[in-house]
Amino acid sequence: MSAPISVRLSDATREVLEREAAERKIGLSALLREIVTEAVSDAQRKRIRQQTKAVAEYIASNPAAREFTEFWGTPRAELP
């Protein structure tokens, strides 16, 4: 579900955005949606990288966690 929002921009910023939208042959709203969507994706990827780094640091510093991941983190094929 989407909902409209209101954002106050300086005249100079709006002019730059309007020129960019015109160059892309899209409306200002469409351009802003693209920019915001990309920023949200970047923020989510950054958060995932930070969380992954925290987990890796924990595993590296904790012998029990390291042992657990060494055992469960390696795929093993059991043949019949």
- 3-59 pLDDT, tens digit per residue, is 889 999 999 999 999 999 999 999 999 999 999 999 999 999 999 999 999 999 999
Half-sphere exposure (Cβ direction) of 71: Cα atoms closer than 13 Å: 5
Length of the chain: 80
Residue-level pLDDT at 74: 67
* Residue 28 or 1, more confident: 28
In a domain, 40, yes or no: yes
5 belongs to a structural domain: no
- Asked if residue 55 belongs to a domain, the reply is yes
Please report which confidence band the pLDDT of residue 75 belongs to, taking 50, 70 and 90 as the band edges. Answer: low
pLDDT at residue 50 in the model: 97
2 located within any domain: no
Residue 3 in any domain: the answer is no
**What's the pTM?**
0.70
Residues 45 and 30: beta-carbon distance below 8 Å: no
Sequence-separated (6 or more) residues with CB below 8 Å from residue 28? 14, 17, 18, 21
Handedness of CA 69, 74, 75, 79 (dihedral sign): negative
User: Does residue 38 lie within any of the structural domains?
Assistant: yes
Q: Which domain range does residue 34 map to?
A: 11-72
Number of domains into which the chain is organized: 1
